[in-house]
Structure 1
Amino acid sequence: MVIASMMILGQFLFRRETVPYQQLQRSTEYKHASLERVGERPASQFVGLGEDRITLTGTLLPIFTGGRLSLDLIRAMAKTGKAWPLIEGSLRMYGWYVIESINETSSVFMSTGHANKIEFTLALKRVDKPDPNRMGKQSLADTLNGYLDNASDYLQDAL
């Protein structure tokens, strides 16, 4: 059985049931050095690639989509500091990315404190293919275990 996904980061599937993003923004920089010249425009020389960033934004409606647990799984991946392959559902390989930041805004709360609406922004930065020791190889089960460990730490701190 094939599981259709919008995108895959490592082993995390971006789907309607997890984190369906509504916007993907990509910014790629190219570096050029300038050399001042008398009476002429500066000379320009291409010196290499700059930053390549992808920002995913969207709104989660936990009744229909994923919620905080899905975002917390991505946070557990980010906490490893490892690079993950980013592959679009069309099988386009973007390259290796690290998770730079995750922002969320919750609103429309139920009486239990659960949010009915969660807006998020996920910032990714492309890196060179990592050394095998720095690659994100852990399974989704390992990521989930890391999340559960973090949740128990959070509960201990709250008590």
Structure 2
Amino acid sequence: MMKLASLGLFVFDASTFPFSDLNRRRDWRYGAAPRIGDRDATQYLGPGDELVTLTGALVPEAGARYGSIKTLATMADQGEAYPFVDGSGVVWGSFIILSMDERRRALLVDGTPRMIDFTVELRRVA
């Protein structure tokens, strides 16, 4: 099975957390000082925030496991940073789990969802 990425020892693949979209946002910081009659003078201060957002759906009929949500929530509860590595083996840095959204759909009579849409937001800390 090909892995999409990993966060620490948690592997994102078709049987755990198969995300369909990965969005990455990187910022750089600049300081500004006002100047009379001209634009502000700027100075590069270094890298700013780097956020990674993963979105997808868990579908047990396709092999995904709902327990993966609990595993990631437990990791988030620890407050630790984890290395994020993409599927080609590139290390992006250390990330914390900022948030997880889930939407349970196609509920069975006992409330069990047939699908859970999810969004996981990560922030780089090192």
Task: Give TM class, smaller chain.
Answer: over 0.9
Alignment partners' CA distance in 1, 2:14 and 2:78: 25
Question: How far, CA to CA, are the matches of 1:40 and 1:13 in structure 2?
Answer: 52
State the alpha-carbon separation in 1 of the partners of residues 2 and 77 from structure 2.
27
Aligned counterpart for 1:119 among listed residues 117, 120, 123 = 117
| Deviation of the 1:95 alpha carbon | 0.5
Task: Confirm or deny: 8 A CA contact 1:19 1:65 kept in the other structure.
Answer: no
Pairwise mapping of residues 81-120 of structure 1 onto structure 2 (< 5 A)? 81-120=79-118
Any runs of at least 4 consecutive aligned residues in structure 1 with deviations exceeding 4 A, and if so which?
A: none
Alpha-carbon distance in 2 for matches of 1:7, 1:26: 14
Out of 3, 7, 10, the position equivalent to 2:8 is 10
Residues 1-159 of structure 1 mapped to structure 2, 5 A cutoff? 4-128=2-126
Q: Which consecutive unaligned segments of at least 5 residues does structure 1 have?
A: 129-159
Q: Distance in 1 between matches of 2:18 and 2:63?
A: 7
1:84-121 CA-partner distances (Å, limit 9, x unpaired)? 01001100111100001111000101123210111100
Distance 2:37 2:63 in 1: 61
Counterpart amino acid of residue 14 in structure 2: R
- Is contact 1:33-1:47 (8 Å) kept? yes
Percent identity of the aligned residues?
A: 32
2 CA distance for matches of 1:88 and 1:98?
A: 15
Question: What residue number does 1:142 align with?
Answer: none
* Richer in strand (by share): 2
- Gap runs ≥5 in structure 2: none
Give the RMSD, CA atoms, in angstroms: 1.1
Higher helix share: 1
Aligned equivalents of 1:20 and 1:68: distance in 2? 11
| Separation in structure 1 between the aligned mates of residue 118 and residue 72 of structure 2, nearest angstrom | 12
Question: TM-score normalised to the size of structure 1?
Answer: 0.76
Query: Whole-Å Cα distance in 1 between the matches of residues 76 and 60 of structure 2?
Result: 22
